[in-house]
Structure 1
Amino acid sequence: MVYQEYPPIPALRPWLDCVWTCRVQTGATPLTHQVLPDNCIDILCQDQHDASFAVGMMTAPIAVVSQGRVQTVAARFKPGAAARFFQLPLCELNDGRAGLQQLWGRDLAARLDDALWSDPLSNMQRIAILQDYLLLRLRAGPPLAPASVAVHAIAAIEGAQGLVRVEGLARQLGVSRQHLAQQFRQQVGISPKLFARICRFRAASLGVKSLAGQPDWAQVALKYGYFDQSHLIHDFQDFAHSSPEAWLTGRRA
């Protein structure tokens, strides 16, 4: 597997975390890799018939199985940004995928597929094409509105690496907890509490990879804002389907 990330063009930087490409070449044995929840939504376009789709917010890890030769060009949206491009409640995409024909219409999805795969192109050419279509979709949408409550909440949660209380955040933003949760489900896909948990888990899982030797998991839990080690273990079970020890051993293997 060859995976590469690239920065988006300036016009899409408010919306995209990155654009990326992946090339998988396997023999008879399929290649499996685990993808953990990351609070993002991606569009993936693959060199197979009608293989352009969006992957919604993940609340659990998924095992992606590839076999044969598969090329992918994709865009990863910043949290809350995909709603601008799909114009549907993002909770409808949670833990699943939907074809671009369904989300953008058959004509636009087919034109994108033809532009990407009808001719031999470089990765950079395909990335440019995908971003052109994202710009087309962006400009076809309604006029931009002021930043929503959900956007402000995302910034606060990410800035604190998930260490916020939803009740306090709602009070800070001048809305009820129920209103904040509803806005999050529509514009982000999941609840603000779950979003914060995934933020905290990602900080912890990335942080422990840099530790030498066998970590003191109680200290790791304390460092990343968990009440105790059992809460850290619970998040690893939910978001990696593994104990912290087994996850770290697998990463170092």
Structure 2
Amino acid sequence: MVYREYAPIPALRPWLDCVWSCRVQAGAAPLTHQVLPDNCIDILCQDQQDASFAVGMMTAPIAVVSRGLVQTVAARFKPGAASRFFRLPLCELNDGRAELGQLWGRELALRLGDALWSEPLGDVQRLAILQDTLLLRLQQAPPTPAGLIEQAIAVIERAQGGLRVDALAHNLGVSRQHLALQFRHQVGLSPKLFARICRFRAVHGALRHLPAQADWAQLALQYGYFDQSHLIHDFHDFAHSAPEAWLAQRQR
């Protein structure tokens, strides 16, 4: 499997984390790849059956199995940015996928699929077509000035998830209930779950640089967990593994 990430075009950088391509070689054995929650929403366009779909926010890991020759071009939205491109509460996409024909209309989805796969193009050319479609969708969206959710996301990410939602809502001048409602609509998850995944991903990233015998209690305190058991709980929720087992598997 060949996976590559690219920077989005300048006009889409406020909304996209990256665009990416993936190609599973013909004749390769079936590949299983574990995807962990990352607080992002992706659009994937695949050559098999002209599939184009959005994958919502994840609250648990998923195992993606690829069989045969599969070509994918995709765009990954920054947290909270996908609401500009989909006119529905993003919580409706959680832990699932929706065809672009349902989200954008069948005509636009068919035009995109035809442009991507009717000619023998390279991945960079196909990513340009996908971004042109996203730019058109953005231009058609009603303007929405930066506001509450953008501020909340920035605070949570700066703190790597190590904060209390009550305090966040108070500092933003809103009730916890109002913040939670807007988060589910514009981000997909509750602010508490979004923060938990932020903190998990910070620990997950740090593990790549730790020895096999990590000090889990110290790591838990470093990243704002109440104790080691809370860190273990998050690993079971978001990686379906104990942290020791996950680290040992990655270091084989």
Asked whether the two chains share a fold, i.e. TM above 0.5, the reply is yes
> What does residue 145 of structure 2 align with?
146
TM-score, reference length from structure 1: 0.98
Amino acid at match of 2:185: Q
Q: Which runs of 5+ in 1 are unaligned?
A: none
**Structure 1 residue 251: deviation in Å?**
1.2
Is the aligned partner of 1:100 residue 2:100?
yes
- Matched position secondary structure for 2:23: strand
Report if the CA contact (8 A) 2:83-2:187 is conserved. Answer: yes
1:201-251 CA-partner distances (Å, limit 9, x unpaired): 000011011112310111111111111110000000000000001111111
Residue 141 of structure 1: how far off its partner (Å): 1.0
The letter for the 1-side match of 2:94 is N
Q: Do the aligned partners of 1:25 and 1:67 also contact (CA within 8 Å) in 2?
A: no
- Paired position in structure 1 for 2:196: 197
1:11 — aligned with what?
11
Which amino acid is 2:68 matched to? G
In 2: Cα distance, 1:187 partner to 1:74 partner: 21
What is the aligned partner in structure 1 of residue 132 from structure 2?
Answer: 132
**Partner of 2:223 in structure 1?**
224
Asked whether the equivalents of residues 56 and 95 of structure 1 are also in contact (C-alpha less than 8 Å), the reply is yes
Q: Which runs of 4+ in 1 moved over 3 A?
A: 26-29
Deviation of 1:252 (Å) = 1.4
- Alignment correspondent of 1:111: 111
Q: Please list every run of 5 or more consecutive structure 2 residues that lacks an aligned counterpart in the other structure.
A: none
Contact 2:29 2:67 in 1 (8 A): yes
Partner residue, 1:247: 246
SS of aligned partner of 1:86: coil
Per-residue deviation, 1:123 = 1.1
2:163 aligns with: 164
Aligned-residue Cα RMSD (Å) equals 1.0
Equivalent residue number for residue 47 of structure 2: 47
1:189, distance to aligned residue in structure 2 (A): 0.2
8 Å contact 2:212–2:247 — kept in the other structure? no
Q: What whole-Å deviation, never above 9, does each CA across 1:71-90 have from its counterpart, x for those lacking one?
A: 00000000000010011100
Identity %: 76
Deviation at 1:26, TM superposition (A): 5.8
Secondary structure, aligned partner of 1:53: strand
Superposition TM-score, scaled by structure 2 size: 0.98
- Name the structure 2 match of 1:211: 210
Letter in 1 for 2:215: D
